[in-house]
Amino acid sequence: MAGVAGSEATTISAAELTERLAPILAEYAGKDGAVISLLQDVQEEFGFLEPSAMTDVADALDLPVSHLYGVASFYSQFYFEPRGKNVVKVCTGTACHIRGAPAIQARLEEQLGIGPGETTADLKFTLETVNCVGCCALAPVVSINDRVLNRREQRKLKGWIQTERAEEPTSQEGAS
């Protein structure tokens, strides 16, 4: 199942939640039909649709929270689990598959210690698979935060992962 490896739950205090949510709720106060935009802003603020934030948004809109989840689950752009600071994507489309994507995926799973759809407990990495990102000439394709890496750049992935892992957490990590 997708999620945060190690089940390390993120926590956020009620006070912090209120403080971070207030400007968003204020911006959308009285604006009907702006649920998608509001949820996008919530996700941008917390990195995903944080459950307590969803409850507060539902209260503010006087809607059942199930309605918000129903809307959000319709769109692939919304995430219900924390995501890593770095989103590593392995293309598993046909061209990439033929040119070695399964081995690359296996190597990344081993190096990151997570499977596709999962996020490391330190919230530094999320691993995903995608179907053809439209750069088949570069196959096999890996991207980091939507920057496509060519084969030469992919050779530096292991070192990059080690460097990122060793870095001190930023304020973003673990905050959401």
Site map (CB under 6 A) of ligand FES, residues 98-117, x = contact: --------------------
Q: How far is the CB of 176 from ligand FES (least distance, A)?
A: 30
Residue 87 dihedral angles phi and psi, to the nearest 5°:
-100, 110
Closest listed residue to residue 136, CA positions, set 176, 97, 85, 84: 97
- Establish if 96 lies at the interface with ligand FES (CB under 6 A): yes
Q: Say which DSSP state 169 is in.
A: P
Closer residue to ligand FES (CB): 25 or 127? 127
Beta bridge partners of 88: 127, 144
What end-to-end distance do the CA atoms of the chain give, in Å? 21
- Establish if 94 lies at the interface with ligand FES (CB under 6 A): yes
Contact 46, 176 (CB under 8 A): yes
- Establish if 60 lies at the interface with ligand FES (CB under 6 A): no
Ordered alpha helix ranges (H), 3-155: 14-28, 35-46, 51-61, 65-72, 94-98, 101-112, 151-154
User: Which segment (31-39, 54-62, 93-101, 110-118) binds ligand FES by CB under 6 A?
Assistant: 93-101
User: Which segment (7-15, 18-26, 48-56, 136-144) binds ligand FES by CB under 6 A?
Assistant: 136-144
User: Which segment (15-23, 87-95, 117-125, 163-171) binds ligand FES by CB under 6 A?
Assistant: 87-95
The single residue among 17, 136, 143, 174 that binds ligand FES, judged by CB under 6 A, is 136
Closer residue to ligand FES (CB): 92 or 176? 92
Whole-angstrom CA distances from 113 to 3, 23, 41, 92, 110 are 13, 37, 30, 19, 5
Q: In this chain, which residue has its C-beta nearest to ligand FES?
A: 93
